[in-house]
Amino acid sequence: MRLLVCVLLFSMAGCSSGRQVAIPVMKPIERIVATTFDVPDMNIQGFDEVEVPVDQVAIIAKLVTPTELCQQQIKPDIHYHVADLRIEHTDGSTAILHVHWTGHNPAAVSLDERTFYYGGVDEAPDSAMRLLQLLRSYKNDSARKARE
């Protein structure tokens, strides 16, 4: 009987090895503002805030929307923190999404820097690098428009 009670408590606490973790659901997005970070080991220079153009929000959302629990342990010295995205939802709420390079597709994303999920993928072989390329292009476009 004691064993049955222990097994039930263990299962109810979610401590089993096959524990199911709920995937965060992304609410409809109104605006994304991103900040990228320096990654000297990869020769990447970060930059301050850039707003994702409204017509590009769906592309970025696809890359960073959590799809499944990350199966690898994310280590800050190996899996570089490449960007933070401030996501403003249509209901007025906001979330900060942290994006880490995984060395493959997809990127790792987290709301709390403790639990990581894989984001979505597109045709690029590395989602984190694709995200940085897109954000840099938006930054360059906004700088060019400011000069005009």
- Domain assignment present for residue 124? The answer is yes
Summarize pLDDT for 118-144 with one digit per residue, the tens.
999 888 888 999 999 999 999 999 888
- Domain assignment present for residue 93? The answer is yes
- Domain assignment present for residue 7? The answer is no
Minimal CA–CA distance to 47: which of 16, 84, 80?
84
Average pLDDT over residues 15-25: 66
- Domain assignment present for residue 33? The answer is yes
Lowest-confidence segment of 3-12, 26-35, 36-45, 120-129 by average pLDDT? 3-12
- Domain assignment present for residue 109? The answer is yes
Q: Whole domain around residue 92: which residue ranges?
A: 24-147
- Here the CATH number for the domain that contains residue 129 is 3.30.1490
Summarize pLDDT for 49-62 with one digit per residue, the tens.
999 999 999 999 99
Can you tell me which residue has the tokens 């080991």? 41
pTM, full prediction: 0.83
Instruction: Tell me what pLDDT residue 64 has.
Output: 95
Number of domains in the chain: 1
Mean pLDDT, the chain, as a whole number? 86
Banded model confidence at residue 104, pLDDT cuts 50, 70, 90? confident
- Domain assignment present for residue 116? The answer is yes
- Domain assignment present for residue 139? The answer is yes
User: ω into residue 106 within 30 of 0, thus cis?
Assistant: yes
Instruction: Tell me what pLDDT residue 18 has.
Output: 52
Average pLDDT over residues 68-95: 95
- Domain assignment present for residue 39? The answer is yes
Instruction: Tell me what pLDDT residue 4 has.
Output: 33
List of residues 6+ apart from 104 with CB closer than 8 A = 125, 126
